[in-house]
Amino acid sequence: MRTQVAIIGGGPSGLLLSQLLHRAGIDTVVLERKTKDYVLSRIRAGVLETGMVAQLRAAGVGARLDRDGIVHDGTVISYEDSEIRIDFTRHTDSHVTVYGQTEVTRDLYAAREAMDGRLVFNADGVTIHDADSDAPWLTYMQGDTEHRLDCDYIAGCDGFHGVSRQTIPQTVRNEYEKVYPFGWLGILSETPPVHDELIYASSDAGFALCSMRNANLSRYYIQCGMDDHPDNWSDDAFWEALKRRIPDAHAQALITGPSIEKSIAPLRSFVCEPMCWGRLFLCGDAAHIVPPTGAKGLNTAASDVHYLSQALIGHYAGNGDEGIAQYSQTALARVWKAERFSWWMTSLLHQFPGQTTFDMRMQQAEVAFLSDNAHAQAVLAQNYVGLPY
């Protein structure tokens, strides 16, 4: 089998890249090691920057998003009982759209299938060959049969645990990592959201986040220990912990209900440099990870895909290879700004084990400055709605 661009990974990065390239007349094959149902079963955040919304519309998958997505013109940062509304409209010409990542992936699969996209599921043991040559190729297993895929370029969209990053020689790769000493215990409940915007809450009892999927599906998180387990938390215990961490007015208004999903996510910052090797290019979680506090994971994958799709479209249009040559540098410039914002939000809002009383006073002073200073609020707003591509 042969294609122009081989894409490893059928998550948001791989699917969006495939769809954008196909609409530009470039052939792709997506190799996904799981099944489509498994990919769609993942519960993931969905706070979309306007840049990502523009990409999805350009990919021809904006219809359901435009119908069901919820536009947010601000978000709330709280500390104990005090709260600050960060007004996106006042500080930027932009906003965010709440639309679950699972729905984004569902829309992309539907679009790929409508264009008879070549999506290979249960592609096991994907192996990259000759990525640093002019004729790269892949092998993979389906059942007992080995397949070969020859291509011009390879996009590694296979997430943090994929094969692509590992294919870049260790002598070439530089990895930067920070593992946070806590996790997020999250639940989904079929209850109306406690507020019409997200609430990022800091308190002496720990961090909490009040989010949503739609008018009757809420997503809540509380900071928990790295070694905690969802089975340690009854629904009642979760709700009580959440109420202690959010402003009292919201705690009183909170409508609780049975959890329909309960899980713990670790928090990590990670970047691999460079994001390319020969004709292999990394996109999304394959190259970088952010703690979810800034809602930058999906959105930074989208900006990688923007840069790489534009570079490849330019190449095949005969407009030169400047975009390809500059891809890693261009993508990393924005990646690091997303990493900084995500690290800053996480450092500001969480209780760190072993932190000193001085550290706590620094957090409180940072929140007080944010509360008092419109410029500080503008900086948060500009980062949250998304820095320019």
Name the residues annotated as catalytic: 72, 200, 292, 296, 384
Reported for 119-122, long-range contacts at CB under 8 A and 24+ positions apart, including other chains, are 119/10, 119/29, 119/30, 119/32, 119/36, 120/29, 120/30, 120/31, 120/32, 121/10, 121/32, 121/34, 121/35, 121/36, 122/32, 122/33, 122/34, 122/35
Region from 6-14, 192-200, 331-339, 372-380 binding ligand APR, contact rule CB under 6 A? 6-14
- Say how many residues touch ligand PHB, by CB under 6 A: 9
Measure the CA–CA gap between 156 and 281, rounded to whole angstroms: 6
Distance of CA 216 to the CA centre of its chain: 23
Measure the CA–CA gap between 153 and 71, rounded to whole angstroms: 37
Q: Which does 78 bind (CB under 5 to 8 A by kind): ligand APR, ligand PHB, none?
A: none
Among 5, 6, 8, 348, binds ligand APR (CB under 6 A): 8
Among 7, 11, 79, 338, binds ligand APR (CB under 6 A): 11
Q: Does residue 187 sit in helix, strand or coil? A: strand
Listed in sequence order, the DSSP H helices in the chain are 12-23, 36-40, 50-58, 63-68, 88-91, 101-114, 164-167, 235-245, 248-253, 297-316, 322-349, 357-372, 374-385
154: left (phi over 0), alpha (psi -120 to 50) or beta: beta
- DSSP type of residue 232: G
Measure the CA–CA gap between 7 and 41, rounded to whole angstroms: 21
Region from 69-77, 158-166, 170-178, 217-225 binding ligand APR, contact rule CB under 6 A? 158-166
Q: How far is the CB of 297 from ligand PHB (least distance, A)?
A: 8
If one asks whether residue 292 binds ligand PHB (CB under 6 A), the answer comes out as: yes
Q: How far is the CB of 137 from ligand PHB (least distance, A)?
A: 38
Quick note: the x/- pattern for ligand PHB over 180-219, rule CB under 6 A, is: ------------------x----------x-x-------x
Q: How far is the CB of 14 from ligand APR (least distance, A)?
A: 6
Measure the CA–CA gap between 140 and 123, rounded to whole angstroms: 6
Taking only Cα atoms into account, the Rg of the chain, rounded to an integer number of angstroms, comes to 21
Complex with ligand PHB: residue 33 or 195, whichever CB lies closer: 195
Measure the CA–CA gap between 104 and 100, rounded to whole angstroms: 7
Region from 7-15, 128-136, 287-295, 363-371 binding ligand PHB, contact rule CB under 6 A? 287-295
Among 26, 275, 276, 295, binds ligand PHB (CB under 6 A): 295
Q: Does residue 158 sit in helix, strand or coil? A: coil
If one asks whether residue 12 binds ligand APR (CB under 6 A), the answer comes out as: yes
Q: Whose CA is closest to 155, among 19, 280, 307, 305?
A: 280
Complex with ligand PHB: residue 131 or 198, whichever CB lies closer: 198
Residues numbered 18 to 57 that lie near ligand APR (CB under 6 A) are 31-34, 39, 44
Quick note: the x/- pattern for ligand PHB over 21-50, rule CB under 6 A, is: ------------------------x-x---
Among 48, 126, 151, 308, binds ligand APR (CB under 6 A): 126
If one asks whether residue 86 binds ligand PHB (CB under 6 A), the answer comes out as: no
Helix count and strand count (H, E) for the chain: 13, 20
What is the contact surface with ligand APR in residues (CB under 6 A)?
A: 8-14, 31-34, 39, 44, 101, 123, 126, 157-159, 161-163, 284-285, 297-298, 301
What is the contact surface with ligand PHB in residues (CB under 6 A)?
A: 45, 47, 198, 209, 211, 219, 292-293, 295
